[in-house]
Amino acid sequence: MTVSLRYHLSFLFLIICTAVEARPVPVSRSGLVGNAIAEFIPVGFDISKTPSLILQKEPQIKSSVPADWGIVPEFSVNDGKASAVVRLKGDVSLYGGGEVTGPLLRNGQTIKLWNTDNGAYGTDNGKRLYQTHPWVLGVRKDGTAFGVLFDSSWKAELTTNSDKIEYNAEGGALFRVFVINRKSPQEVLKGLAELTGTMAMPPRWALGYHQCRFSYGTEEKVRSIANTFREKNIPCDAIWMDIDYMEGYRVFTFNNKNFPNPKKLNDDLHQKGFKSVYMIDPGVKVDKNYWVYQSGTANDVWVKQPDGKEYHGKVWPGDCAFPDFTMPRTRKWWSGLYKDFVSTGIDGIWNDMNEPAVNDNELAADLRLGTMPYNTPHRGGGNLPAGNHLLYHNAYGRFMVEASRNGILAVNPEKRPFILTRANLLGGQRYAATWTGDNLADPRFMKVSVPMSITLGLSGQPFSGPDIGGFLENTSGELWAQWIGFGTLLPFARGHACAGTNDKEPWAFGPEIENTSRIALERRYRLLPYLYTLFYKAHTTGLPIMSPVFFADLKDARLRSEEQAFMLGSNLLVVPAFAKNPALPTGIWENLHLINGEETDAYQAKLLIKGGSIIPAGKVIQNTEEKSLDKLTLYVCLDSKGQANGELYWDAGDGRGFNKGNNATLKFHAATQNGATKISLASQSGKYPVNNEIKQINAVIVKNGKAYYGSGNLKTGVIIKSY
């Protein structure tokens, strides 16, 4: 949510530059730190001054960089500001940069890496948003690829021209650069995960549909929303509480009038198959009678001004103090605040406003910064040095979600935490999912949500999605229908609405669009087994869940800039209804229909299954606590040889047991012989008793626009003869 909804304002910065010739800085040391992963360290680099806030662990050089490596960064310092340039040769398609607007293909683009509260993406025309990913993925003409990671959290500018990639920081401390050079972009992304980690495996309910509003203001309204979903048989897994559940916007409190019994509310939601997600912001109201402020003051955790006085900035509660998350004791203190809060039965946490967003920092007349002043000191500790806000600003949200995650785990160690964050830094995918911030109810924002979410996946963050329907301003029924028709197929699926805008629940636009919403959501829930399998692969490998169409054919130049259609995994192609003449891969692709009547609904995205693949689907359920696999359906699209393969990953849906072998991976194979196709279980691994859940297998072969059906079980398989 945007402070004071000021998305129509511009943040102005006074930048005084002195032209000084850049001073080249040679590489002092380099080496391979992994399979085709090179680390380049400039002369003068001091890890005590520029600690990595991105890497999951400190890499060790294992061997020297080959003489023919070819991708070597050039370092320099200009007017006390450190830079690195990677010069490019040949025809290279560039991607990445994290949460950015604009085209999927990033050649010729410049973005500003400075996490900003940016409603409707108005500041700098969307070139500066809520997260920082100093990362570029390059794909050559032959499909081989490389990645460049600038290991720096400083305020910076990232330029991706066809002849060079340039990172210019506003801090003088030199930083390292990591280069990954592999045979495909998919392998490069696996290398990025080796450096920065993968997302944690979420609880299965987090893959369901989420409903939110700023705000559902009373317990009665929350119950009404939940009851309506169930009465109308519209699938949903989570209801979200925005800041109005709090007492005067004080974090870790409940409004005694409107939310008098949060434990009973959460219990009631659980009985109906819902989870609850509550917002927690970093700003703590300055109030000597408020226990969180008292505790923070007693533990000396607040950010201080240069003169040593407590830093205050205005956010929703008025004057706020802010935890200095660079200090280990602050992170431990923050983690401890979740104990009583989560014990009320809260299932997920929403960390918002954590750029951090502050709305009253006037640097001069009519000049506003939107966060803490650059020279605000942070005290550090542990392996983190003391440093100013220019160094630590982009990592503030990442520190916050790490502390939040640790606090939630301490309360419920046997459950998988779910945290959604607005601000983050590359590497922060280890702690939280994300959404694309405060978008606008406008077709432009609907369309740009596709390349934005793809780009996040190409930048190490696979679990993301937009506010379906648009957060700011009113949403028309037409726009809602178009958006939900494909938005439910993105990794994170949540409908959201700002205060003062019209209702944006699936039934809010009349019976016809309610039915459109139901179809779209039932499609997502039917695809849950396939999606859950993709999430597990993302967790274990770092591969994106949602990927660009060119991943289907790395050498097809037509596909390199396609940003309307997208892939889910490698076997399912999604073409939104708004897409006009999208570039699609060649080969065998068949229409896939999951729900009766969906083909007559003009708003649903077209689903295409790839030749040679098998996609597992469950039955229609209303929430993820219901059994999905009773009647497992295998959708089969044969290749030119009459064969196909597919995979299903499954586990208990929550808990830590999946890390100890309590999971199941089923691999299916289809082969055609003498005019009949047999679909059978090729292999099974893991200790989770998935066989107890799968009572029946239905198989559907889609070929030449027609469907052919058969049924059986895991033991006998399915034979389909007539097609």
Give pLDDT tens digits for 97-150: 999 999 999 999 999 999 999 999 998 989 999 999 999 999 999 999 999 999
**pLDDT value at 2 more than 50:** no
**pLDDT value at 367 more than 60:** no
- Give the model's pLDDT for residue 17: 34
Q: Are 114 and 132 in contact (CB under 8 A)?
A: yes
Q: For residue 359, name the pLDDT band (cuts at 50, 70, 90).
A: confident
Provide the annotated active-site residues.
352, 355, 438
- Between strands 493-495 and 467-468, the pairing is parallel
CA distance linking residue 218 with residue 206, whole number of Å: 23
Give pLDDT tens digits for 523-565: 999 999 999 999 999 999 999 999 999 999 999 999 999 999 9
**pLDDT value at 509 more than 80:** yes
Q: Are 606 and 575 in contact (CB under 8 A)?
A: yes
Q: For residue 364, name the pLDDT band (cuts at 50, 70, 90).
A: very low
Q: For residue 291, name the pLDDT band (cuts at 50, 70, 90).
A: very high
**pLDDT value at 7 more than 80:** no
The secondary structure of the chain in percent helix, strand, coil, rounded to multiples of 5, reads: 25, 30, 45
Percent of the chain whose pLDDT exceeds 90: 92
Strand partners, 590: 609
**pLDDT value at 378 more than 80:** yes
Q: Are 200 and 417 in contact (CB under 8 A)?
A: yes
**pLDDT value at 173 more than 80:** yes
Average pLDDT over residues 65-86: 95
Give pLDDT tens digits for 580-596: 999 999 999 999 999 99
**In this structure, which amino acid lies at residue 712?**
G
Strand partners, 302: 323
CA distance linking residue 458 with residue 454, whole number of Å: 6
Whole-number CA gyration radius for the chain: 25
Three-class secondary structure assignment of 177-238: EEEEEECCHHHHHHHHHHHHCCCCCCCHHHHCEEECCCCCCCHHHHHHHHHHHHHCCCCCCE
Instruction: Collect all residues with Cβ–Cβ distance below 8 Å to 92 and sequence separation of at least 6.
Output: 107, 138, 139, 140, 141, 162
Q: Which two tokens stand for residue 510?
A: 């009349």
544-720 has the same fold as 3-196: yes
CB-based burial label for 382 (10 Å; 0-12, 13-18, 19+)? exposed
In 3D, which of 310, 301, 303, 311 has the Cα closest to residue 336? 301
The CATH architecture assigned to 3-196 reads Sandwich (2.60)
The residue ranges of every structural domain in the chain are 3-196, 544-720
- Give the model's pLDDT for residue 171: 84
CA distance linking residue 428 with residue 431, whole number of Å: 6
- Give the model's pLDDT for residue 368: 58
**pLDDT value at 19 more than 80:** no
Instruction: Collect all residues with Cβ–Cβ distance below 8 Å to 689 and sequence separation of at least 6.
Output: 664
CA distance linking residue 215 with residue 227, whole number of Å: 17
Cα–Cα–Cα angle for 418, 424, 430, nearest 5°?
50
Percent of the chain whose pLDDT exceeds 70: 96
Average pLDDT over residues 327-346: 98
**pLDDT value at 672 more than 50:** yes
**Averaged pLDDT of the chain:** 94
Residue 235, CB half-sphere, CA atoms under 13 Å: how many?
Answer: 28
Judged by phi (left if over 0) then psi (alpha if -120 to 50, else beta), residue 298 lies in alpha
- Give the model's pLDDT for residue 3: 42
Q: For residue 369, name the pLDDT band (cuts at 50, 70, 90).
A: confident
Cα–Cα–Cα angle for 408, 409, 411, nearest 5°?
65
CATH of 544-720, one of 1.10.10.10, 2.60.40.1180, 1.10.260.40, 3.20.20.70: 2.60.40.1180
Q: For residue 23, name the pLDDT band (cuts at 50, 70, 90).
A: confident
**pLDDT value at 201 more than 70:** yes
- Give the model's pLDDT for residue 5: 38
Average pLDDT over residues 80-85: 95
**pLDDT value at 365 more than 50:** no
Q: Which two tokens stand for residue 162?
A: 């066809």
Average pLDDT over residues 249-270: 98
Instruction: Collect all residues with Cβ–Cβ distance below 8 Å to 117 and sequence separation of at least 6.
Output: 2, 3, 130, 353, 355, 357, 370, 371
- Give the model's pLDDT for residue 8: 34
Q: Which residue has the tokens 């080959």?
A: 66
**pLDDT value at 573 more than 50:** yes
Average pLDDT over residues 652-665: 97
